[in-house]
Structure 1
Amino acid sequence: MGNDSKKIKELQQQVKRLQQELTFLRQVDNSWQAMLDTSPEAIFIADTESGLIVEANQYAEQLLGYSREELIGIHQTRLHPPELREQYAKSFKEGVAAGRRSVKDLYVQRKDGTRIPIEIFGSTFSRDNRQYIVGFFRDLSAIKDSQQSLAASVERYQFLFNKANDGLTVYHPLPDGVPGKFIEVNDAACRIMGCTRNELLQLSPRDMVMEHEWPNIAKVIEELRTKGCAVFRLQIRRNDNRIMTVEIHDHLFEYDGKPTVLSIIRDITERVEAEEKLKETQEKLIYTDKMAALGQLVAGVAHELNNTVNFITGAMPPLKRNINKLKEEVRQVIGENAGVPVNKSLPPGLADIDELLSRIELLFGNVEEGARRSSSIVHNLKLFSHKKGEEFVYYDLHEILETNLSLLLHEYKDRVVLNKDFGARVHKIYCLPDSLSQVFMNLLINAMQSIPERGEIWVRTWNDDGRLFVSVRDNGVGIPQMLQSRIFEPFFTTKKVGEGTGLGLSISYSLVKKHQGEIKLLSGPERQGSEFVVSLPVDMRRQQ
């Protein structure tokens, strides 16, 4: 009896212990399940041998759209799209054998058929002498969406970057601020620079800039450093050695932890050329307007001067006759007293009369020369203001040139070598012959006078695009660069005082314009002497 009571008491204690262990195990199981359900990732536990799922948490239910009861007991491969199950099963086995703990770029298939990108982290454990695998499924949908959004953003950026009409380049400045190599360029920049992308990425901005622009680059570097941006224009040399003018907007910012410059480059070569042509046209309009006003003034001045000159030249012949008559009478008186001492034979005051008459004759010659030159100036002034009494006709320009050369060359043949190249096939043009004769007479005289001792003159003609060109070139002293813009101004001359009126080229300019032509000076430090080129339409009526 005592033994039975003792056994019952021991049995009761064992039952109590078992009850306590069961309670503990239930608590552990509840804690384990709570831990699974609070995980931010889907967790599946599968039997390694059978591949069947034995446990799943709440997030697994949300991820796949199945209930926990539906998930437990199915094969783990059924979580994936049907066509990928065999491939994934093989990858799992290889991963377990190789000891890999994660597999990326997988998909699971929800109950509604949609697919979700995931990454699986797996590990194994043993329980009750059985092997289990636990898999943590991380939903990559948000990451994939971000990656796709980022890829789309990069693609849009690349599209906009490469399709921009302006050149775009990016570079890191060196520590001293000097531009480093390009790290990114767009298609327009390659087109402007005349390089391929790979060629341009081997260069820096300083490799493209003309040397004379480097002082300006130093100013840009300083402006970027102080203001963070700079706008400037400069000349660059393309890969094919063509010179271009560009306008650049530089912006300094930080990228990847480094100072970075974005340059927006615009090719303004054509715009600059157009601005220069516009400026030239404006100057020509101003000059034409000035010439028109001056022509009116000159016409009035010429009329007044002509009256004065006519009065002088009209009085010269009778004055000259009277002086000659006086000389004859004086000589008769002197002749009657020949052989008698002058002081005794001539009346007082007549002893030096012969010398006095010689001086009067010399002064008279000076007056005549002055009147002749004044008349010439008045004549040129009239030509400058207007031309009357001449009609347009077809005339051989070569004949005009030959006539002028024959008239002038005898004065310079001992010191000037003339070179003629009359290559124009069409040389009969619709013109005012006398006017053009005066134009080329002026040009030839200027060329000859520009040669101080000995030299050469080249006269050449040619045709191009319905026009006749005449070039008069010399190897004389040339015209200084600073004076070239004024050579067609009235009364402006580079000759010494008394050697020119300053009207020759002004008149020539007006006469050439009257023929709808152009006259240009080609003179510079790279050439010796000067060259005037006259361009005339063969038939100006066709251009009206």
Structure 2
Amino acid sequence: MSPPRESSAGASAARASLEEQLESTQRLLHALAQVHADYITHGDHRALFERLLSLMVELSRSGRGFIAELRSSLEETASLQLLAAQGWKTLPLKDLEAHVAHVLRSGAAQRIPDPGSTVESPPELLALPFMLQDKVVGVVGLGPRMDGDDTCLVDFLQPVLTTCGTLLHAQRETERRHLNEQALLAQQAQLRKLALVAARTDNAVIITDARGDIEWVNEGFTRITGYTLQEVLGQKPGTLLQGPGTNPKDIEAMRRSLSRAEGITVELLNYGKSGKPYWNLIEIQPVHDEQGTLVQFVAIESDVTARRQLEQQAAESTELLRLAMESTADGIWDWDLPSGILKTNARWMTMLGYEPAPQTTLEFWSTQLCHPEDLPEVNQRLNAHIEGRTPMFEYEHRLRHKDGHYLWILGRAKVIARDAQGKALRIVGTNVDVTSRKRAEEQLQAFIQAIPDMLFRVRRDGVCLAFKESLIEPPWRRPEEFIGKNLFRMLPKPVVASLQAALERVCQDSSLEIFEYSLEQAFGIQQFEARVVPIGPDEGMCIVRNITVRKALEDQRRRQREELEERVRQATRELESRQAQLIQSEKLASLGQMAASIAHEINNPVGFVSSNISTLGVYTSVLRRLIELYQQVEEHLGSDIPDAAASPLEEIRALRRQERLEEILQDTDELLSESREGMIRIREFIQDLKTFVREEAGTAQQADLNKLLQVTLRMLRHELKYKTQVRLDFGPLPLVRCYPTQLNQVFVNLLVNAVQAIEQRGEIHITTRREGNDVVIRIKDSGRGMSPETKARLFTPFFTTKPAGEGTGLGLSICYAIINRHKGRIEVDSELGRGTTFSVHVPLVEA
């Protein structure tokens, strides 16, 4: 079985080779036909030679190639002009001329060394001469190639070689005609320009000498540029008119043409005398004398700024339209009614699963695409618009996809052209795929139908647009009794007022509005909840639910909750009272033990320190008296000092001056005085501490509240002095029967809270007065104050505004319990940013 497979494989390879050769031949013939057509249309020889070379390199599978023209006779040394080259950065013509000389003389294809190679054994190129009228006129070089079958390649490329000869002949003929016509055209152009100048054209006319210096300009030049003839004489036009926006390539093209004494027409961006840019169409022609010598250039310039601006606007509009057409997700169609042709964009077709096509027919749309059930309505609406009975066509219908399923399409269209009799000629429209929206609407409708509540879709003016009755409530009225009717005239007045207000609010700020109402029905008074949500600019959806059972359960739960909360509050009050008493008892007990220990530890050192200070004062007096007597002796001696005493006395004087004895004596008195004062303050502190924490008997005692406040202030002097200035306004107070230690605790808590409420530095005002049967202590701070919410929970146990770990929340609740024990009260006046005032009322009756 192997031999047949090999034979089959060989046949397949041969067939593939033949197909490849046929395809290459077809490409070659097509390219040659296109080259001939382009030459007839454009006449650009160099571009055509480059295209032919690229084709030969590709079809011959060569790495590089060239086409060169023979510019000399074969009897002389070959002189070549390169027409096209591919694959070399630089092709050395001298080496090439030496290599192809024999080829050109023989007229036969031969292999030659690669002239651009630098290796010792350079690769070879296949040189193919081409002829014109039996004369060699050029050569084509190709290589290196993948295979060496040059004979087949020469035969294959013979049409290309013939075309190269034809193109070269046409090029030479064109150059000859151009030279012959140039002189005549130059003369004709000179006469034409001079005639325009004579007619005082509105265009700008410039005449320069052969060097390009201005000799004359007309009035049109002055109107366009702003320069007068006197201002431009002897100057070059480019120096005056060209600026930063002028295209350098255009300037270079003008320079090359003028250097060859050739005419040129070009559009330039020039600048007038004021610096304002303008677009200029310039036609420049040389003027020769009778001997053919260049003597002048004549240029006619036209201001084409307006045209360029219109072209730019048109290009921008076209680009915007193109981008819009490409980027839109909608299908766009253009129906020519007389022909029935329906032009579409790509999206119109791809939306339905078809390959993009520039046009289709109305018959295809109506018979193959539009759903049969929708077609009559589409035609009716479309005809109504065509006849001018509707401002535009708009309808949602179904179009069949290529795979058989249907898409929902929103079609919109408008007649944009009519004849003199008003008959529609052209309609332009769009197709929008709304399948997803329609499916969502269907799902939403199914969801709505599953909702047990009653639904109203109602306009802002009260008109009901849609209605769904409740699935669990007995029907109140039939849906047709609601739809299209004004609910404001049908519903009870209280319900109408709430519904109107809710619709107004949701239409203004798109919020959710909820209101409740009651209706008396056959089976009793029923309570309802209505939720109104916006669904359009002037529409709302009202969802109504019977909440009679829920309200009854809520009332029951509310009563149970209130009873439970009252029990909790009662238990909490009892717990807080007992807790505060326990904390106070433990604190006072600890402070009492601490005070006893402190008093024991401090009293003995204070006693001997005080005694030592007194003794030190006596010693200091003796030393002071001794120094005074010494000074008197020194004064009595004067200059009669015995020699034996002179040196010690001088040392004494020096030491007295060095150590400033008088200042030491003065400082000693002040130090002793301050030490005595410090000892007194220590004794007072110990006494205040004993007073503050002393254990109280079970009965109240008579106390002076002014003195209790002074004791408290001395205890808190360290906390107060760095942040506050305390101002006292004590009025005369009678003795009050109270528990002094507990009141001290109240004053400490209130003062500490006042200090902590002051963020930087402030004031605390303490006022005491008798007001009726009460003694009132007011402690006012300049701190940050408190909000109404904080004030409402101020005396709640464990409530604190301090960070975690910095407060227990029991201080003010203990104060509240202590004042309650004294049958008094605490009042708070506070506002954020304006400080706080605590007023403590202690009755004068027996506590």
TM bucket normalised to smaller: 0.3 to 0.5
Q: What's the TM-score, normalizing by structure 1?
A: 0.38
Greater relative CO, 1 or 2 (CA 8 Å, sep 6+): 1
Q: Answer with 1 or 2: which has the greater Rg.
A: 2
